[in-house]
Each structure stands twice: as structure tokens, then as C-alpha cells.
Amino acid sequence: MRRASNGPTLKGLAAIMGISPSAVSMALNGRPGVSDELRERVRAVAAEHGYLPNFAARALRVERSNMLGLISRNLSNPGYLRLIDGFSGAAEEHGYQILIGTSDLDSSREASMIRAMTNRQLDGLAIAPIEGEAALATWRAESDRPVVLVNSARSTKSSSVMSIRGDASQAVRLAVDHLVGLGHRRIGLVTNPGLSSASERVSLFRRMMRAAGLRSRVISGGSAGETVKLTVRALSRDDRPTAVITDSDLLAHHVYDAAAEAGLRIPHDLSVVGHDDLPTSHLLGPALTTIAVDRFEIGRQAATMLIAALNGDEIERPHRELPVELKVRQSTAQPAE
Amino acid sequence: MRRASNGPTLKGLAAIMGISPSAVSMALNGRPGVSDELRERVRAVAAEHGYLPNFAARALRVERSNMLGLISRNLSNPGYLRLIDGFSGAAEEHGYQILIGTSDLDSSREASMIRAMTNRQLDGLAIAPIEGEAALATWRAESDRPVVLVNSARSTKSSSVMSIRGDASQAVRLAVDHLVGLGHRRIGLVTNPGLSSASERVSLFRRMMRAAGLRSRVISGGSAGETVKLTVRALSRDDRPTAVITDSDLLAHHVYDAAAEAGLRIPHDLSVVGHDDLPTSHLLGPALTTIAVDRFEIGRQAATMLIAALNGDEIERPHRELPVELKVRQSTAQPAE
DNA sequence: AACATCAACTACAACGTTACAGTTGGCACG
DNA sequence: CGTGCCAACTGTAACGTTGTAGTTGATGTT
């Protein structure tokens, strides 16, 4: 077989120096039991020979792989890139590598991904779960290692599970307040089907609208494509909404298409508020008003929470909600009528 | 220590069944040496007890981790998502997990990423290298496993290294032909600095322009921000280009900003051709004419090439150039003058 | 001077898996 | 009926690392 690493082993270093492998191990890991003088010599020799520890061997022995897993719902939403970026950056800083999986919005795939990750000895896992409880259960059945739920609707408040996401209720409130403030009365929510966060969003929306004394309309199909079709239909009706709030910028893009199809101009005939602030959203014609949530930061904190838990540190706030921000641009205006 | 997997081990299964661990191993791996009858029984018992192999142990023994690495230049370009998506999809299909790293456009980080991946016993690596030769050398110094260079300027034609990318010369030709066909004479190339592919692009552009009997202008700064500034300046000059070709859609977005700053309307005063066809590019105002390259397919083939090489199969075309496509939209038109 | 104490090491086993050299028993063949 | 052969197993060692239980020799204490 081809060897992955033809470098020296720890045992080899020991032979070269005429000492025991244990001594080398202790020296390299900075553990007590060797003299400072020897520690220095070992480090020098290791560096000279370009020694790199074999992670498989270490993982087998200490049951720690120095790898963190990240399972996301899908990889076609550019927002996830920022999340991965933040997660991997923080992980690498602490010497962890990351393993990425995508559930492709299929909950059985999600479960099998999680199991595949478990027996790779992952030290911790961040999941943007399709079904919060199910994903969690799969992981915990196989492992007692830390998990952090990302962008998932609040569910378990248990201390063994952490979570982080943008502040969902603030997001809905900002969007509704903005549109109501502009004078809109008929406001719709266009939501992606199938996500655990969707139903929470819907109920938050309903509550905010009720508080404003308005009737709420929710547009949500069985699939993304169907949702778009329903949107076109809703926009063609007489009492069509004069403004819609969407679950994501991507969905907002589809609403742009739907509006064009229905012959409506944005923002003159229809105001649109997105959610995510993709890097391209301000370049849309017209630039999209949207809720910005710092996904990079979410990813970063997800990783640092896991690492802190692995180090046995106390986690200050195990359930975090990051503030979100409304970016007002050109896709919202006062209603025409 | 906490155990990652509390499930049974192979040895445990052997004890339960009263046979030797070797027999269990052979049965589970479908190797000859056990009767069909026993093989079936072992499989049944394994399934019943939810046995999952310990990858660290296997990796240690067989020097194969069943993991593929993917190192990309940075994670802020949405195009990479499609690449990762294709790569991870194909990898998972064959039972491989993927390890992701980003070099953040820093070549020393790139080298250390590669070394970190080497001693994790990675079976194969796909690199979108900053410096083609350097990245390769780092990997090959530590390992003799397959590599595939992604989106990298043609360099080594050696058979031990594979490569895949969009057809760069076709891309430039399509863009130039399109603009020349519209009647443009003063065409600029706006390019991202620092990438090995950039210089190749520049020379291809020069060649195409010479073939068309036109002078070529290249706009390229030391950094992305600087490039934008240079673009603004170039667009303010009297003999400003009437059309520009950019290295990426993201850069094209910046050109949109630069054009706005210079008081030019697209496509009336300036035609723009991008490169990538990001999902949002057709929603820009105006919709961006761009070169589409199927990054998903690039990622998918990168993974399958690696896996084929690991299986010892013959690779049909170890240096692949995927066809690219010009998507004509609203950002290009005949020059005004 | 006898003994405890301790730092600085060594020896050994183990983690879970797989490769390979043995071992067993049954069957065909001269 | 002994021999050879083969299929179907078992036993053992090894992959590279680390933790723990020794072992050594020097130092300090009474």
C-alpha cells in the first residue's frame, strides 16, 4: 500500500534519540514527567525530521479525533458559505479540522450523515437540522459529545445541547414594523416549506400582525417551486398583498420573478423584504431590503462553543440569539394605493 | 473520557457469536475465507447490534481514511459552494467523507493546510491552489496519493497529477467574440490579482484581441479593492473601454458599482461580461451577461477522479477541460457611439 | 548509614482493526 | 487407507499512539 505519510513516527524518533517512545510522547505533548532539557531536545529533533503525529493512531488511543462536524440542510444557499467559513476558521484556529455533510433537506439522509460522523470519532457536531428533535436524538443515541443546533427553532432547553441562531422574533418584528410604518396593511409571509424554523416564523408573524391589528396571509407550498406558483397566484388576486416578507433572500429572488410574471413592479406595486443579506442582494434590481444576520459569526460561535465544551469549560450562554439588523434598500416603499 | 461510540466493536461481535474477530472482519468486508452462510449470519448480527466500524482503527491499520480533502482559495465566493456541493455529493456516494480547508488566499496557510491534511491520512486531495506548483510540491513531499488540481492554470502535464477546470481559452474567446460581434473596439479585461489563473487569462485575452486586430487593455491592481479603484479611473478616461470582461461575476458586481460611480449606465455606456453565472447574476439590474461554467460538475468529477485513482482504475482523461457557455443577458449591447 | 522521597525516565499494554501464517477437518484420489 | 488438497476457520502480530505501573539513581532526612 501507498503510505500517506512517509515521515518518521514517534517510535522512530525515540529510536533515533535512544530513548523510549513514552518519553517522546510526553515531551511533545508538554506533559510532566520529562526534564525541560529533554523536552527541548525532543522538540528540536522532531522539528528537524519533520515529524507529524498520526491522527488515526491518536484518535484510536485517546478517542478524540480533533475533528468537528458540520451538517447543513443544503449547500445551494450562499448564506451557508459564510457559516462554513466562520465555523472552519474558528475550528482551524484551535487545531480542529472540519467534516462537512449536507442533508439535502432529506431527514433520513440527515440521520445517516450523523451516524456516519459518529463512528468517525467526531468530537463535536454542529447541525442545522431539518427536524430539530430527530437530528438530536440520532446523535445522542450514538454519542455523548457536545452538539450545537444552528438556526434551529428553539426546542430543548436542556443544558447538554447548545444552540445558536439569529433572533427570529426580532427579525419578524423589524420586518413587520418597517412595512406597517410605510403604510402597508395587506402583508404576506412567503415561507419555505418543511423547515422546523418555518412554523415558528409563521406563528411569530401571526402574533406581530395581530398586535398591529392586521390580518396575516401566509404563502407556503409543499416545495420551493410550488411556493413560487402560489405566490404568483396570490399576487394576481384583487386583494393581493402590497408587501411580502420572505424567509430568505433566495426566496425573495423568486418573488421578484413571480412579481415580473404577475406584471407587478417592485417597489411601486409590491414591497419585498428578504432575510439573509446575501452579498449580491444589494445589487438586485431593485436592491433588496432585507434582514441581515451575521452567519459568519454564527458559524464562528458554534465552533467556539463546541471547543469550549470539549475543553470542559463552562459555556456562558449555551442558547444564543444574535441580534439581526434591517437593511433598508430599494425594494420597499409606501403602497401605491 | 467520554466515548464517541458506545456501540459494539468487531471483537465484541466475535465474542457474542463465538468466532474469531478475523472471521467477522472477513465476513463484513466481503472477503473470501468465510462461508456464505457465516457471512450472512455475521451481517445479521452486526445489523442487529448496530455495529459501526471504528474508522480511526481501520485507518491506522490499512492506511486509508476514506476521507477526501478539498482546499479552496476562499469561501466567500458563492461559486465554491456549488463546487463543494458536487464534490461532497460524489464523495458521499462512494462512502468517502470530506475535509474542507480554506487557504484564505494565503499561500503559507495553504501549505500548512495541506500538511495538516496529510497527517490525517487523507486518501486524496483536491486543491484550488493559489500557486499551482507550490501546493503540489507540499502535498507530494508528504504523500504519494492522488491529487487533482481544480480551476488551476495548466502547468504540470504529469500523469501523477490530475486536473479539471472550465475551458479557459474557450471562455475568453466566447466573451471577446461576443463583444467584437456587437461592434466593440475598446475592450478591457478586469482581473483579480494574485491567482495563477489570472496571468493565463491575461495572455489568452491578449492573443484573442490581437487576432481581432484590437489593442488590449488590462485592469488589475494589487488587491481586489485596488482593482475596483483602477476600474473607476479607467472608466473616467476619454478613451475608456466601451466594454469589459471580468474574471468573475463578483468582480462584475464591483464593476457595476464602479460604473455607477463613474456615471455610466450599463449596457448603454458600458457592456459587462462576467464569469461564473452565480445564481443571483440574472437578477442584477441589468441581468449580467456571463460565462457559465458548471462548478457542480467540476466538483463532482474532481471527486470521482480521485476515487477512481484510489481504486487503481485507469483515468480516461486525467486533464479535463469542461466546456463553458456564454449566457447573453442584458448587460451587453452595441456600443453607443 | 539506612531509609524515604522524588524526578526522570522505561516497559508494557491497550485502543479496534486487518493481514497473514497456521490449524483443522472433510473429501477425493491412487 | 494413507496422502494431498482445499475450504473454512483461528491465532497472532502489527499499525502509531498514550497512560499507567514500574524502575532507576540521586538527593535529603534523621
State the pLDDT at residue A337. 65
Average pLDDT over residues A150-161: 72
Residues 21-40 of A with CB under 7 A from strand C: 21-23, 26, 33-35, 37-38
Give the minimum alpha-carbon distance from A52 to chain B in angstroms, rounded to a whole number: 6
Three cell numbers, residue B79: 461559486
User: Using 50, 70 and 90 to split pLDDT, how confident is the model at A1?
Assistant: very low
Tell me the nt nearest to B25, Cα to C1'. Answer: C18
B141 touches strand C (CB under 7 A): no
Beta carbons of A52 and B119 less than 8 Å apart: yes
Does B5 have pLDDT greater than 60? Answer: no
Beta carbons of B63 and A2 less than 8 Å apart: yes
Residue B138 belongs to a domain = no
| Preferred mutation among B100, B117, B123 to probe A, highest tally of A CBs within 10 A | B100
Highest mean pLDDT among A143-152, A220-229, B242-251: B242-251
Span CA (B11) to C1' (C24), Å: 22
Average pLDDT over residues B180-185: 97
| Preferred mutation among A62, A75, A123 to probe B, highest tally of B CBs within 10 A | A75
Span CA (B36) to C1' (C25), Å: 18
CATH number for position B21: 1.10.260.40
Residues 32-91 of A with CB under 7 A from strand D: 33, 53-54, 57-58, 60-62
* Domain boundary pick from A25, A51, A77: A51
Average pLDDT over residues A180-206: 88
Domain that holds residue B40: 1-51
* Chain A positions in Cβ-Cβ contact with residue B278 (cut-off 8 Å): 280
Residue B115 belongs to a domain = no
In three state form, how does the secondary structure of chain B look?
A: CCCCCCCCCHHHHHHHHCCCHHHHHHHHCCCCCCCHHHHHHHHHHHHHHCCCCCHHHHHHHHCCCCEEEEEECCCCCCHHHHHHHHHHHHHHHCCCEEEEEECCCCHHHHHHHHHHHHCCCCCEEEECCCCHHHHHHHHHHHCCCCEEEECCCCCCCCCCEEEEEECHHHHHHHHHHHHHHHCCCCEEEECCCCCHHHHHHHHHHHHHHHHCCCCEEEECCCCHHHHHHHHHHHHHCCCCCCEEEECCHHHHHHHHHHHHHCCCCCCCCCEEEEEECCCCHHHECCCCEEEECCHHHHHHHHHHHHHHHHCCCCCCCCEEEECCEEECCCCCCCCCC
> Mean pLDDT score of chain A, rounded to an integer?
88
Beta carbons of A63 and B279 less than 8 Å apart: no
Does B164 have pLDDT greater than 80? Answer: yes
pTM of the model: 0.85
Does B147 have pLDDT greater than 70? Answer: yes
Three cell numbers, residue A202: 409563521
- Which helix (H) or strand (E) element contains residue A199? helix A196-211
* Chain B positions in Cβ-Cβ contact with residue A89 (cut-off 8 Å): 102
C-alpha distances in angstroms, B85 versus A5, A276, B78?
A: 28, 20, 11
Total domains in chain A come to 2
What is the pairing mode between strands A67-72 and A124-127? Answer: parallel
Q: How do residues B78-95 score in pLDDT, each as one tens digit?
A: 778 889 989 999 998 998
Q: How do residues A297-336 score in pLDDT, each as one tens digit?
A: 999 999 999 999 998 888 889 999 999 999 999 999 999 8
Beta carbons of A4 and B286 less than 8 Å apart: no
B28 touches strand C (CB under 7 A): yes
A to B CB pairs, distance under 8 Å:
190
State the pLDDT at residue A126. 94
Residue B330 belongs to a domain = no
State the pLDDT at residue B111. 84
* Chain A positions in Cβ-Cβ contact with residue B81 (cut-off 8 Å): 75-76, 78, 80-81
* Chain B positions in Cβ-Cβ contact with residue A123 (cut-off 8 Å): 4
State the pLDDT at residue A2. 40
* Chain A positions in Cβ-Cβ contact with residue B65 (cut-off 8 Å): 4, 56
Beta carbons of A4 and B65 less than 8 Å apart: yes
Residue A161 belongs to a domain = no
Residue B261 belongs to a domain = yes
Residue type, B294: D
Q: What angle is formed at CA B281 by the lines to CA A267 and CA B216, rounded to 5 degrees?
A: 125
User: Using 50, 70 and 90 to split pLDDT, how confident is the model at B253?
Assistant: confident
Does B273 have pLDDT greater than 90? Answer: yes
Other C-beta atoms lying within 10 Å of the C-beta of residue B22: 13
3-class SS of residue A235: helix
Average pLDDT over residues B252-276: 92
Q: How do residues A216-255 score in pLDDT, each as one tens digit?
A: 999 988 777 788 889 999 999 999 999 999 988 888 988 9
Name the maximum alpha-carbon separation found in chain A. Answer: 89
Q: Is A208 exposed, middle or buried (0-12, 13-18, 19+ CB in 10 A)?
A: buried
State the pLDDT at residue B134. 76
CATH number for position B260: 3.40.50.2300
Residue A157 belongs to a domain = no
Does B220 have pLDDT greater than 90? Answer: no
Residue B192 belongs to a domain = yes
* Chain B positions in Cβ-Cβ contact with residue A142 (cut-off 8 Å): 4-7, 52
Average pLDDT over residues A22-37: 95
Does B321 have pLDDT greater than 90? Answer: yes
State the pLDDT at residue A273. 97
Which bases in strand C are touched by protein, i.e. have an atom under 7 Å from a CB?
7-21
Of B92, B102, B256, which has the smallest distance from its Cβ to A88's Cβ? B102
Of A53, A81, A286, which has the smallest distance from its Cβ to B285's Cβ? A286
Of A116, A250, A279, which has the smallest distance from its Cβ to B97's Cβ? A116
Does A89 have pLDDT greater than 80? Answer: yes
State the pLDDT at residue B28. 96
Which bases in strand D are touched by protein, i.e. have an atom under 7 Å from a CB?
7-21
Does A5 have pLDDT greater than 70? Answer: no
Q: How do residues B16-64 score in pLDDT, each as one tens digit?
A: 999 999 999 999 999 999 999 999 999 999 999 999 999 999 999 999 9
Q: B55 near B66, Cβ under 8 Å? A: yes
Give the minimum alpha-carbon distance from A176 to chain B in angstroms, rounded to a whole number: 25
State the pLDDT at residue B333. 97
Q: How do residues A257-274 score in pLDDT, each as one tens digit?
A: 889 889 999 999 999 999
Pick A17 or B110 by higher pLDDT.
A17
Residue A133 belongs to a domain = no
